């Protein structure tokens, strides 16, 4: 009896079986490649996301300001530092960058910013400037960044950096050069003229004439030395303020009286709060002597009759502060003079006439010494009469002098 025939199995080596197997293997391989590629892409994505988060953190914590703008110059993003610089509240989308900047700053130079508006590039250094006021020095931000003229839809990035220190140093140096050229040249010209006359015609002069020209030259030398000493004292101000012995306000009172005698100030009125005499002055004796001498000397120098009436009040101000107020009855200062009073190499005289001796470092030196110990200093015209009032506020030292008389 013949058995039923079973269906033929597909032989592995047959054409059909090989095709099916090949397809199966190909699908498995593709699935494996896809899974591996997916895993690789997921890894790349995670790394990119981590890098993005890291970059965002760096930008958010940066001491420099970053502003992201669209192609129309509208703000799309600011980091915290830029927000502070521009005085922007939360939710700044839609504000025009230049309009926001102009609310607070002056844009310098105008041509550089006009070029930036056109193509988004900074071809020259551009700045946002807050001019100096009676209570604050000038503030400078340098702006740079990049745009994409080929793909403007990518927008622009502006970086804002605080360059106040660099610009102040640069301006001080320029002012210094201008002052030195004039102030040091004046005595040099007098010395040169006197020595030239003595060298060429000294044999024909009388003894009195020779002595006169020699004294003129000597006066020029002494003035030159004095002005160089002013510069060196200003340079060494930080060391002068923080190094040395201490003294009490009772000793300070004695020094005030002595300095006023040296300057021939005949009218001096002192008023010290009760209980302050035995406290330590938060400045070294050398620094305090310098401050008082500069202020008292100015009172004499710029008084119409060279005989000022000076009032000095020393007492407690707010919590943990001591106030020293020095008033005179001399000239009243203009707004411009009040604004530039603490600027180095600026004098009370309107122009470099040479009428007032010195390098114009007196008030700047006073401010530097006070600032070195965390104090404040203000200059204002008196309200009750002509003259000025200098108010110094100093932090009370942690250690009090407990000596008793």
pLDDT at 403: 38
Tokens matching residue 332? 């009243």
Q: What is the rounded CA–CA span in Å between residue 216 and residue 194?
A: 7
Model confidence over 253-288: pLDDT tens digits? 898 899 889 888 989 999 999 888 888 888 888 888
Mean predicted lDDT score pLDDT of the chain = 78
Query: What is the domain partition of the chain in residue ranges?
Result: 62-162, 173-235, 242-405
Contacts for 227 with CB less than 8 Å, ≥ 6 apart = 183, 184, 187, 357, 358, 359
Q: What is the rounded CA–CA span in Å between residue 88 and residue 70?
A: 17
Report whether CATH 3.30.450.20 matches the domain 62-162: yes
pTM of the model: 0.49
- Helices 185-201, 164-183: axis angle to 10 degrees equals 20
If one counts every other C-beta atom within 10 angstroms of the C-beta of residue 306, the result is 13
Model confidence over 64-76: pLDDT tens digits? 889 888 888 888 8
Per mean pLDDT, which range of 41-45, 128-132, 370-374 is the poorest?
A: 41-45
The CATH number of 173-235, from 3.40.50, 3.30.200, 1.10.287, 1.20.120, is 1.10.287
Per-residue confidence band for 354, with pLDDT thresholds at 50, 70 and 90: very low
pLDDT of 234 above 70: no
pLDDT at 17: 59
Q: Is the peptide bond before 109 cis (omega within 30 degrees of 0)?
A: yes
Per-residue confidence band for 88, with pLDDT thresholds at 50, 70 and 90: confident
The arrangement of secondary structure in 242-405, i.e. its CATH architecture, is 2-Layer Sandwich (3.30)
If one counts every other C-beta atom within 10 angstroms of the C-beta of residue 221, the result is 14
pLDDT at 228: 77
- By the 8 A CB rule, do 240 and 286 touch? yes
Residue range 162-171: mean pLDDT, rounded: 78
Model confidence over 42-63: pLDDT tens digits? 777 778 877 777 777 777 778 8
Q: What is the rounded CA–CA span in Å between residue 62 and residue 22?
A: 58
Give, for 378, the enclosing helix (H) or strand (E). strand 376-381
What residues does 145 pair with on adjacent strands?
Answer: 158
């Amino acid at each position: 009896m013949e058995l039923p025939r079973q269906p033929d199995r597909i032989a592995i080596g047959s054409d059909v079986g090989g095709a099916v197997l090949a397809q199966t293997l190909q699908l498995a391989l593709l699935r494996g490649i896809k899974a591996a590629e997916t895993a690789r892409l997921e890894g790349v994505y995670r790394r990119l996301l981590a890098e993005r988060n890291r970059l965002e953190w760096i930008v958010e914590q940066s001491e420099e300001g970053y502003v992201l703008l669209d192609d129309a110059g509208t703000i799309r993003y600011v980091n915290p530092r830029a927000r502070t610089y521009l005085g922007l509240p939360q939710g700044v989308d839609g504000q025009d960058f230049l309009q926001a900047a102009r609310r607070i700053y002056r844009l310098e130079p105008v041509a550089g910013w006009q070029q930036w508006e056109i193509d988004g590039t900074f071809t020259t250094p551009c700045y946002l400037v807050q001019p100096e006021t009676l209570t604050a020095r000038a503030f400078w931000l340098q702006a740079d960044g990049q745009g994409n003229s080929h793909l403007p839809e990518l927008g622009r990035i502006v970086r804002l950096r605080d360059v106040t220190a660099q610009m102040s140093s640069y301006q001080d140096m320029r002012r210094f050069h201008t002052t030195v050229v004039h102030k040091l040249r004046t005595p040099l010209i007098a010395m040169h003229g006197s020595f030239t006359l003595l060298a060429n015609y000294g044999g024909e002069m009388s003894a009195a004439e020779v002595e006169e020209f020699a004294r003129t030259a000597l006066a020029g030398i002494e003035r030159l030395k004095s002005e160089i000493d002013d510069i060196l004292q200003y340079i060494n101000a930080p060391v002068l303020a923080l190094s040395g012995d201490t003294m009490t306000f009772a000793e300070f009172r004695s020094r005030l009286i002595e300095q006023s005698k040296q300057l021939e100030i005949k009218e001096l009125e002192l008023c010290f709060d009760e209980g302050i005499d035995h406290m330590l002055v938060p400045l070294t004796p050398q620094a305090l002597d310098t401050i008082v001498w500069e202020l008292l000397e100015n009172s004499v120098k710029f008084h119409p009759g060279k005989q000022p009436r000076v009032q000095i009040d020393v007492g407690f101000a707010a919590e943990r502060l001591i106030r020293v107020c020095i008033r005179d009855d001399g000239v009243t200062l203009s707004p411009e003079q009040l604004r530039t009073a603490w600027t180095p190499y600026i004098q009370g005289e309107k122009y470099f006439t040479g009428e007032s001796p010195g390098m114009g470092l007196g008030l700047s030196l006073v401010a530097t010494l006070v600032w070195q110990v965390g104090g404040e200093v203000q200059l204002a015209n008196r309200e009750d009469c002509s003259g000025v009032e200098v108010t110094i506020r100093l932090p009370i030292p942690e250690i009090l002098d407990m000596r008793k008389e």
